[in-house]
């Protein structure tokens, strides 16, 4: 392996003073130059391990939560590569959607106005002012592309610094030409199969962004409100009949929707209101006659037990409206204000005059005014009663959502199709979940769907729907006869491209055509990442080798969006899962145990952490977080990781100095004490990898290797189960025992104190242990593992074979791991006695007596020479008794 300085990396000497300084830059460059992580596309599918890497949202900067979860993926990628798989590990960038639009608006001080013509000479303001400059859609999109390219370069630099083993020749962006073509192709096939459809229906609407919102993008936020008690006069004209009866009292948190009231509803089993079902009441202020109806979703315990149905106050209103076949009287417009036109149902002059006072007002202002009107009319009973209640918001929005009637594109997802719902639930059962319990989140989401997936958005920067509509003789679009392009010409932009059979002069004129003005929801594109990355319909050979993919890594909160939507798309297109495994990461929590997020302003950017502690240290903290578990941001863990990396450097230098052919300056040459006593550790490790027999004769060495084989088994099983934290835990625990106990115990023997055979056994064991430990650490600590590997082994540790426990056990030749524990306990007892008297650890011990159970004492006795050497013990005696190892020490 040739380094960036032109030297042969396989011949590097062990440095006299190893350091972590600069290793990230050195090895990142070497990996790039050598193509260490380049995907070999010539191998068969059976040898490929492919990853559907999450494309981070390009909206300014990455934060430490990204470092956390992407490290988890990289650990698995590195492990699979060392297991002999050819890893397809691409990287995408999600630059499609609202986050990018908001960033561009704020960064350049502009806003999109689709009615404006394109200005090829437009330049954004040098200093954005308070008022945003209106520009055409095409100009706006150009600014989006310009800014995202800058952000993506910054992201790649940080990912390289972190050590992600991505193949950077396989990248994509969710708004690039390839992604647009894939998204439009998949949509047209959904449309042809009847899975995509256009419908006018009540839609969750964000009044700030002026766009529809899907169920998966909702979040409930606790907000203050108030119950208003309203009296509805009984309907009918007979003075002796219902009109003379007591009014019907309801409680509502949204009195401003009173002009949109179409019925009152109560539970069919509620005895208080059963006599009213089938009768009518009249709305206060507006005097509109509405029916009293029954429905199972009415809650007898909520408020007065009877509620008004308004079109539309919430999602339950939509269900009531649809199932009870009620009329629609929408009063909230797309701008979040009450519409100017008085609902036709309000016919009285007084009612129309009252509505005129509300028209054009915001929801908040309309609520204030209608409460005043109700109070003046005597229809408000008592004072409003303050409450706190959950209100639905768009996850990226700042104002409560409204429900307005709009024409939107939908994709069937099982929300209204029980057979499809069952099929998608079964897909969740097929998928291997890591951790397993995350499957419940998927199942709960599928079971809780209440409608199809709304995939259209009223935005500007996104993948446009490849659809035009013919205009009739009056210029009205015929939505029932959409015009679509051939797949071969995709991607298209209907706002500038022309449908087949038309000319641009026919755009927007009677008898001509109109473009669909909407773009796809960002998840409608992101749901296709396995197809985009694998070259679907573009690179047939690559697609055949990597799809279906092996792994989808992601956070738990987007199981309902990204994971589920991807399953929906590939189930529709191929009738199978897009990947076989899903590895779920948790959140990063701040010191107050709150999720870190940009919207909360509590994020930590990672560059400073990487510079201060080193990439391996930050990766160590990330890999210590359990799969699927929310983890606290912990600088202390990063410090621990740095200490571990430094210890690996120093312990490796020391171990190699005990018997390696690359000797650090100032260290005694191996074999000086006993001619011929040295064994080249590098050569021994190579022999082990090749499966050749090497001499391991001493019980302690065999015990060490037997314990190491157990560690390899445990780490391998953990990583096969995607439990990177467990793999790191068992490896690190063994490493510290190796350093603190084993190296100290065999140091004298390795230098040849007890003859050539004992030295060879120790040096062989040290070489094997070091080789194995570096490979076990390599997925988590790639930089320090590569650094040490380069001192004595050719090639990259990241292309080396994963350790084989069976081969190590052959060398151990029946060694007993418990011997290492017993001798380590005895050595600890000797050290503790010296420490208690504040003696040096090198102080001579006149005598030491080892007690404990006969089996344990026999184990220690088998390594008596090593214990005597390590503890500087003149007289070592053994006295079997009962219990654990005990040590009685007399200092010289």
Of the candidates 415, 386, 389, 410, which has an alpha carbon nearest to the alpha carbon of residue 400?
A: 389
Q: What is the pLDDT of residues 59-94, one digit of tens each?
A: 667 888 889 999 999 999 999 999 999 999 999 999
Per-residue model confidence (pLDDT) at position 686: 42
Query: DSSP labels for 592-621?
Result: TS-B--TTTT----SHHHHHHH-HHHHHHH
Contacts of 868 (CB under 8 A, 6+ apart): 876
Please provide residue 103's backbone torsions phi and psi, each rounded to the nearest 5 degrees.
Answer: -65, -40
d(CA 336, CA 887): 80
Answer for the pair 497, 543: CB distance below 8 angstroms, yes or no: no
Interacting residues of 213 by C-beta distance below 8 A, sequence separation 6+: 203, 204, 205, 206, 394, 397, 401, 454
pLDDT digits 0-9 by tens, 271-284: 999 999 999 999 99
pLDDT of the residue at 12? 64
Most distant CA pair in the chain, distance:
122
Nearest alpha carbon to residue 572 among 181, 182, 190: 190
Preceding omega of 435 cis (within 30 degrees of 0): yes
- Say what the pLDDT of residue 236 is: 67
Low-confidence residues of the chain, pLDDT below 50? Answer: 1-11, 237-243, 660-693
Strands 261-266 and 306-310: antiparallel
Rounded distance between C-alpha atoms, residue 731 and residue 709, angstroms: 11
User: Which pairing describes strands 171-173 and 91-93: parallel, antiparallel, or unpaired?
Assistant: parallel
Buried b (16+ CB within 10 A) or exposed e, 433-471: bbbeebbebbeebbeebebbbbbbbbbbbbbbbbbbbbb
Tell me if 339 sits within 8 A of 331, measured CB to CB: yes
Classify residue 563 by its DSSP letter. I
CB of 571 closer than 8 Å to CB of 424: yes
- What is the pairing mode between strands 513-515 and 468-470? antiparallel
Short-list 730, 742, 888, 714, CA closest to 822: 742
Q: Which two tokens stand for residue 399?
A: 């104002």
Peptide linkage before 770 cis (omega within 30 of 0): no
The tokens describing 94, both together, are: 């999600």
pTM tops 0.85, yes or no: no
Alpha-carbon distance 861 to 842, whole Å? 21
Rounded Cα distance between 481 and 501, Å, is 14
Pairing of strands 385-394, 289-294: unpaired
């Amino acid at each position: 392996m040739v380094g960036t300085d032109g030297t042969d990396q396989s011949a590097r000497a062990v440095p006299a003073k190893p350091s972590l300084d600069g290793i990230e830059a050195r090895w990142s460059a070497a990996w790039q130059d050598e193509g260490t992580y380049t995907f070999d596309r010539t191998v068969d599918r059976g040898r490929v391990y492919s990853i559907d890497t999450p494309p981070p949202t390009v909206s300014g900067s990455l934060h430490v939560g990204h470092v956390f979860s992407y490290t988890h993926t990289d650990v698995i990628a590195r492990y699979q590569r060392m297991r002999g798989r050819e890893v397809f590990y691409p990287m995408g960038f999600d630059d499609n959607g609202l986050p990018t639009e908001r960033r561009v608006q704020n960064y350049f001080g502009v806003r999109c106005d689709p009615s404006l013509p394109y200005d090829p000479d437009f330049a954004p303001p040098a200093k954005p002012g308070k008022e945003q400059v209106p520009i055409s859609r095409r100009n706006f999109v150009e600014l989006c592309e310009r800014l995202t390219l800058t952000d993506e370069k910054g992201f790649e630099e940080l990912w390289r610094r972190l050590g992600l083993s991505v193949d950077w020749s396989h990248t994509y962006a969710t708004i690039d030409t390839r992604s647009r073509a894939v998204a439009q192709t998949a949509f047209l096939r959904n449309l042809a199969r009847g899975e995509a459809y256009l419908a006018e229906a009540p839609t969750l609407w964000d009044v700030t962004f002026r766009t529809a919102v899907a169920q998966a993008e909702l979040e409930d936020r606790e907000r203050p409100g108030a119950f208003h008690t309203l009296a509805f006069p009984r309907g009918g004209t007979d003075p002796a009949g219902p009109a003379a009866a007591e009014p019907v009292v309801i409680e509502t948190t949204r009195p401003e929707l009173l002009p949109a009231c179409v019925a009152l509803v109560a539970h069919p089993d509620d005895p208080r209101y059963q006599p009213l079902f089938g009768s009518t009441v009249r709305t206060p202020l507006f005097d509109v006659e509405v029916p009293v109806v029954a429905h199972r979703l009415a809650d007898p315990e909520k408020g007065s037990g009877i509620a008004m149905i308004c079109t539309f106050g919430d999602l339950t209103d939509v269900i009531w409206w649809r199932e009870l076949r009620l009329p629609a009287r929408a009063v909230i417009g797309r701008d979040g204000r009450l519409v100017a036109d008085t609902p036709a149902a309000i016919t009285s002059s007084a009612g129309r005059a009252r509505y005129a006072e509300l028209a054009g007002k915001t929801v908040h202002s309309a609520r204030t005014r209608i409460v005043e009107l109700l109070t003046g009319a005597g229809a408000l009973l008592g004072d409003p009663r303050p409450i706190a209640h959950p209100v639905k918001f768009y996850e990226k929005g700042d104002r409560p959502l409204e429900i307005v009637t709009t024409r939107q594109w939908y994709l069937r997802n099982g929300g209204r199709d029980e057979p499809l719902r069952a099929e998608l639930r079964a897909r969740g059962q097929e998928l291997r979940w890591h951790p397993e319990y995350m499957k419940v989140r998927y199942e709960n989401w599928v079971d809780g769907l209440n409608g199809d997936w709304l995939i259209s958005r009223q935005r500007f920067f996104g993948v446009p729907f490849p659809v035009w509509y013919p205009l009739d003789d009056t210029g009205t679009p015929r939505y029932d006869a959409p015009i679509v392009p051939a797949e071969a010409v995709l991607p298209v932009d209907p706002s500038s491209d022309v449908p087949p059979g038309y000319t641009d002069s026919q755009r927007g004129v009677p008898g001509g055509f109109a473009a669909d003005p909407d773009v796809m929801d960002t998840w409608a594109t992101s749901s296709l990442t396995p197809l985009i990355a694998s070259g679907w319909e573009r690179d047939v050979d690559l697609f055949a080798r990597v799809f279906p993919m092996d792994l989808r890594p992601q956070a738990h909160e987007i199981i309902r969006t990204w994971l589920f939507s991807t399953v929906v798309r590939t189930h529709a297109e191929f009738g199978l899962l897009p990947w076989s495994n899903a590895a779920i990461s948790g959140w990063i929590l701040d010191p107050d145990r709150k999720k870190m997020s940009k919207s909360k302003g509590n994020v930590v950017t990672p560059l400073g952490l990487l510079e201060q502690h080193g990439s391996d240290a930050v990766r160590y903290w990330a890999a210590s977080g359990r799969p699927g578990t929310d983890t606290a941001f912990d600088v202390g863990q990063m410090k621990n990781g740095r200490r571990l990396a430094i210890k690996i450097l120093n312990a490796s230098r020391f171990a190699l100095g005990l018997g390696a052919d690359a000797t650090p300056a100032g260290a005694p040459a191996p074999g000086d004490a006993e001619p011929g006593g040295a064994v080249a550790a590098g050569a021994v490790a190579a022999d082990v990898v090749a499966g050749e027999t090497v001499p391991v004769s001493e019980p302690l060495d065999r015990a060490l290797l037997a314990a190491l084989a157990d560690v390899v088994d445990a780490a391998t099983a953990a990583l096969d189960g995607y439990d990177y934290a467990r793999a790191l835990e068992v490896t690190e625990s063994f490493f510290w025992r190796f350093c603190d106990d084993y190296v100290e115990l065999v140091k004298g023997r390795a230098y040849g104190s007890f003859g050539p055979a004992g030295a060879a056994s120790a040096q062989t064991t040290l070489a094997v242990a070091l080789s194995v430990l570096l490979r076990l650490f390599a997925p988590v600590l790639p930089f320090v593992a590569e650094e040490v590997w380069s001192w004595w082994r050719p090639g990259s540790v990241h292309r080396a074979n994963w350790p084989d426990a069976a081969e190590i056990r052959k060398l151990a030749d029946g060694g007993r791991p418990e011997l290492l524990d017993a001798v380590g306990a005895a050595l600890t007892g000797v050290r503790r006695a010296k420490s208690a008297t504040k003696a040096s650890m090198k102080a001579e011990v006149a005598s030491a007596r080892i007690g404990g159970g006969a089996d344990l004492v026999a184990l220690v006795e088998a390594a008596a020479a090593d214990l005597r050497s390590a503890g500087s013990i003149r007289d070592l005696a053994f006295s079997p008794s009962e219990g654990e190892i005990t040590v009685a020490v007399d200092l010289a």
